[in-house]
Structure 1
């Protein structure tokens, strides 16, 4: 897998993935499919280039996933000397000129345009379905993946499902409604589910399979509150887990160990970063670890740090807590407790402890940054089943698989957390599932999406039991981020901005 993704960095520039500030001003990936695409290999080149755009500093290397971490209630700013744009993102007081948004908005559209070009190029070859549709399906998966993140963050926004060959054509494009964007996402994922293989070559998890597409369909339907379809898709993945090669890792920490990242059965979809290698325009720049690492004792940036309440309220008998935090460090043979950290709180342990072949502060790691794990399929099935039928043994069983794994302390079995019994009210059971999602996916940028889809903002930021009080949180504004001002200046048709900006 690592060798495969060395290709991505070199192929990114083949399809014109140079730097730009604005989508409408200088679109990325501008080339004519009819002249570039001569063989299926050319289509694959474009798809791999799209992955290279996403596995970059502006998206899954740092900016985008850190923005999602800041918006949740599990991480806040540790080093307040960091850039104002990060503090504004975290504190719910940003404006529409926020620098983080200005970085990741155009980068997502670069990936989308590469996917659109790959799709159009594949169609232009006029080959039999069984010779080309698996690559067209992969391109459509990338587009769906990109828009699924974008629509949850921005709401209405331009939906572009064609390759951009004339930059001026985008200066008058208008926003598309969330509902229509979700229709496009679902259509793309259905096509991907139909045509993608059950496993990719060498079982790589950084390219999608039919199981990947079904898993994201389940998540899309859960987000939309269509619990029957969410359950159907999740159950399909669970029933065919052996066909797709999915299973929970016996040791929870394996999911964040860069040294074994290529062999994880739990990974459904991830982005493969290469140790100590960087490409043009931030490609392969994994800066997540230094964002999380202790400032004064490791040389990390110490920016994204859990609140003390997140640590204190997590039962120490849960192995996931041990994996998820760094609360002591050994420096020059001396054990240093977290009170000695520059921000005197426990820091994130996921990804930080085992970055593989990285530089001294964990940058340019060997991690495969996973956006979807099999544990989430089980969680979706549990939540959807409970929404449809109330608390039931099947839903509890899915949750208990995850809890059983949490009782395995790297080979030593303990008795916490205990199995769940479906003998509570429906609201209590749903709350329990959401709480278990918070712990299972702590710091994995899932929490913000759960807060938004469950309308929990006032409870988790303004309520008496808030883990991260944010008095400026405004539910009429803060469930969406603003479209960058730079985009509105170039294309007034994107106005008005989201409410409150």
Structure 2
């Protein structure tokens, strides 16, 4: 996606779509597909608008991804002076009026609304399938991406796969069973895999391709414990990596050093932010660097110390692992002097470095960065394949090989080859190997918004938060309540057909 076009779309199209669909309120204005869709370029513009919603402050710029981080056992609250809604998410004492949820819930539905508008508009053009279906496939991927997040966080949710033409109907939506939502996601991803191109123009990774759709199908099947499906789709991506231009970046640090290349080989799907470019309604406003950065440091490395790992997350990570060095900041410049974390002025713990260390073109706190956030990268596909193969066949050479490939990259310490982490021990039992893969995911994908979904799908909450080995203890964690978040109260008040999740 060309930078200037991306900037226009981020500023104009999201504002136009904002009124299309808000699950909590009546739409104040609806797009008429017959009126605005004249050519495939119009469909493409609305698709870009949907991408623009994803790259917004309420989703990948702060609210949504912060909630995912705080929910897991890797990211804790640092400064307890931060607003209460963040502490509620972190401490498992949310109510149905949590402001973070109130912020990101309707935005995901605006993404869905834009995708539905594009799909309906494309169908109204009368263009041959070979010409229009790649755009329909892209819109359907975006819709699947949004619902895949929503269904995992909330369970049964309103599922809308059509263009909203009747404003009153929004206030009468029912919750759709999660199984039906997953079925819709799978259908969208399968259509996307069939019709999307192998590569987008200039090989940008912020637009979906066949490989993107297949990678998310693998993730979907893994979530549903369909290990045959997960293995099949992940292996297909791996076997076709040259076709799609995928591979591991040689140096792990490159993944978190803005500005990243738009065609970075490890990125399968990236959320692209443009440095110091802010649009309407929070479009392109990335705040993850200050949220995770160290309060009190010299500019441009000063943050807010909001999302900070517990000390035990740092202490239990083997110091020989280069990924630890990339993932944590343990020193900062204050008054021109290098200060260790034990002397940080606000929260005296190591901080997350992946977003704050190299924020690229950004303000003095790293806000409005140049980051291309990897929503899916090739290393994750390798680990999906490893987990699925392990579930199907145990500790096989193939399953170990996928993990060893990830570990081999981790042994490249900025150009210096080391002997840690070692290859997988072939004597591991199946259970031990699966535990190893989950641990490898925890380290490889640390602070990348993945860990909570692993805890949820594997039902690890009581071990992660209540066991003596817990990295971030929360004695009040309740498996009957806390694997899902609450439906926002305002929606329950607006729509009597909606019901609340248990425990809220």
Q: TM-score, normalised by structure 1?
A: 0.98
SS in 2 for 1:259: coil
CA contact (8 A) 2:36 2:42 kept: yes
Deviates more, 1:157-166 or 1:134-143: 157-166
Further displaced range: 10-19 or 345-354: 10-19
> What residue in structure 1 maps to residue 475 of structure 2?
471
What TM-score results when the alignment is normalised by the length of structure 2?
0.97
Q: How does 1:111-150 map to 2 (within 5 A)?
A: 111-150=111-150
The answer to whether residue 442 in structure 2 is matched with residue 438 in structure 1 is yes
**Distance verdict in 2 for CA 1:179–1:5, change over 3 Å:** same
> Which shifted more, 261-270 or 28-37?
28-37
Structure 1 residue 330: deviation in Å? Answer: 2.6
Deviations 1:155-176 (A, max 9, x none): 0000001111222111111010
Match of 2:286 in 1: 286
| Contact 1:255 1:261 survives alignment (8 Å) | no
- The residue that corresponds to 2:399 in the other structure is 395
Aligned to 1:346: 350
Residue 224 of structure 2 is matched in structure 1 by 224
User: Does 2:486 match 1:482?
Assistant: yes
Per-residue CA deviation, residues 439-478 of structure 1 (Å, 9 max, x unaligned), is: 0000111000000000000001000000000111101000
Contact 1:29 1:110 survives alignment (8 Å): no
Offset from partner CA, 1:243-286 (integer Å, 9 cap, x none): 00000000001111112342410001011111111111011000
User: For the Cα contact (< 8 Å) 1:15–1:114, is it kept in 2?
Assistant: no
3-state DSSP of counterpart to 1:296: coil
Alignment of 1:83-232 (within 5 A): 83-232=83-232
C-alpha separation in 2, matches of 1:163 and 1:290: 38
Q: Which runs of 5+ in 1 are unaligned?
A: none
Q: Is structure 2 residue 358 aligned with structure 1 residue 357?
A: no
Within 5 Å, which residues of 2 pair with 1:69-88? Answer: 69-88=69-88
Structure 2 counterparts to residues 193-342 of structure 1, below 5 A: 193-297=193-297, 298-341=301-344, 342=346
Post-superposition offset of 1:54: 1.0
Provide the rounded CA distance (Å) in 1 between the counterparts of 2:263 and 2:210. 19
**Count of residues paired in the alignment:** 499
Give the drift of 1:24.
Answer: 4.3
Q: Deviations over 1:108-154 (max 9, x none)?
A: 00000000000010011111111100000000000000000000000
Are the structure 2 counterparts of residues 16 and 28 from structure 1 closer, same or farther at C-alpha, using a change threshold of 3 Å?
Answer: farther
1:59 counterpart = 2:59: yes
Q: Summarize the Cα distance change of 1:86–1:144 in structure 2 as closer, same or farther, 3 Å threshold.
A: same
Measure the CA separation in 1 of the matches of 2:110 and 2:167. 13
Post-superposition offset of 1:13: 4.4
SS in 1 for 2:212: helix
Structure 2 gaps, min length 5: none
Moved more, 296-305 or 39-48: 296-305
Query: In the alignment, does 2:464 pair up with 1:460?
Result: yes
Partner of 1:3: 4
Partners in 2 of 1:58 and 1:14 — Cα distance?
Answer: 14
Q: Is the 8 A contact 1:208 1:269 kept in 2?
A: yes
Q: CA deviation at 1:18?
A: 4.9
Deviations along 1:404-448, one digit per CA (max 9) or x if unpaired, are 000001100000000113321111000000000000000111000
Q: Do the aligned residues in 2 keep the contact of 1:77 with 1:305 (CA within 8 Å)?
A: yes
1:409-448 matches, within 5 Å, as: 409-448=413-452
Seen in structure 2, the aligned counterparts of structure 1 residues 19 and 276 have a Cα distance that, compared at 3 Å, is: farther
Label 1:476 to 1:28 Cα distance change in 2 as closer, same or farther (>3 A): farther
Which string of whole-angstrom CA distances, capped at 9 and with x for unpartnered residues, describes residues 383-412 of structure 1?
000000111000000000000000001100
- What's the CA shift for 1:55? 0.6
2:411 maps to which residue? Answer: 407
**Aligned counterpart, 1:17:** 18
Shift of 1:300: 1.3
> Deviation digits for residues 5-35 of structure 1, max 9, x if unmatched?
2132134246432599x52423387211111
Comparing 323-332 and 118-127, the one that deviates more? 323-332
Cα separation, partners in 2 of 1:246 and 1:4, compared to 1, 3 Å: farther
CA-based RMSD? 1.3
Contact 2:24–2:491 at 8 Å: present in 1 too?
yes
> Structure 1 residues 499, 131: closer, same or farther in 2, change over 3 A?
same
Q: CA deviation at 1:198?
A: 0.2
Contact 1:28-1:110 within 8 A present in 2 as well: no
The answer (yes or no) to whether the contact 2:274–2:371 under 8 Å persists in 1 is: yes
For 2:495, the equivalent position in structure 1 comes to 491
Q: Distance in 1 between matches of 2:475 and 2:296?
A: 30
Distance 1:187 1:130 in 2: 19
Partner of 2:47: 47
Cα gap change, 1:28/1:430 in structure 2, threshold over 3 Å: closer, same or farther? Answer: farther
Q: 1:31 is matched with which residue?
A: 31
**1:319 Cα shift?**
0.3
